[in-house]
Amino acid sequence: MLRDTQFRHITVSPITGALGADIHGIDLASHPDDPAFDEVRRALDKYHVVAVREQNLTPQTLHTVARRFGPFSGNPVHAPIEGLDDIIRFVREPDDTGKVIGEDWHMDLAWMAKPPGLTMLYGEVIPPVGGDTCFSSLAQAYRALSPGMQALLHERIGIHSGKGVFEINAANSRLALREDAQNIDTIEAEHPIVCVHPATGERYLFVSSVMQSIKGLTAEESRPLIDYLLRHAVRPEFNCRVRWAPRTLTIWANPFVLHTAINDYPGYRRVTYRTTVEGWVPMAVPAASDTVAQAA
pLDDT in tens, 167-179: 777 666 577 778 7
Residue environment code for 74-99, b if the CB has 16+ CB neighbours within 10 A, otherwise e? ebbbbebbeebebbbbbebeeebeee
When pLDDT is cut at 50, 70 and 90, the band that residue 62 belongs to is very high
Any domain includes 101: yes
Lowest mean pLDDT among 95-99, 132-136, 243-247, 263-267: 95-99
> Is residue 1 included in any domain, yes or no?
no
On whether the CB atoms of residues 4 and 21 are closer than 8 A, the answer is: yes
pLDDT, position 166: 63
pLDDT digits (tens, 9 = 90+) for 190-246: 999 999 999 999 999 999 999 999 999 998 999 999 999 999 999 999 999 999 999
- What is the per-residue pLDDT across 281-296, written as a single tens digit (0 to 9) for each? 999 998 766 544 443 3
Asked if the structure places residue 5 within a domain, the reply is no
Domain around 44: 11-295
What's the number of domains the chain is made of? Answer: 1
Is residue 208 assigned to a domain? yes
Q: Is residue 88 part of a domain?
A: yes
For residue 4, is it within any domain? no
Of 152, 212, 217, 193, the C-alpha closest to 282 is 193
Does residue 18 belong to any structural domain of this protein? Answer: yes
pTM of the model: 0.94
- Position 279 pLDDT exceeds 50: yes
* Mean per-residue pLDDT over the chain, rounded: 92
C-alpha 203/C-alpha 285 separation (Å) is 8
CATH of the domain at 171: 3.60.130.10
pLDDT of 77: 84
- pLDDT band per the 50, 70, 90 thresholds, residue 161: very high
Q: What is the pLDDT of residue 34?
A: 85
Whether 179 is in a domain gets the answer: yes
Mean pLDDT along residues 120-132: 97
Percent of the chain with pLDDT over 90: 78
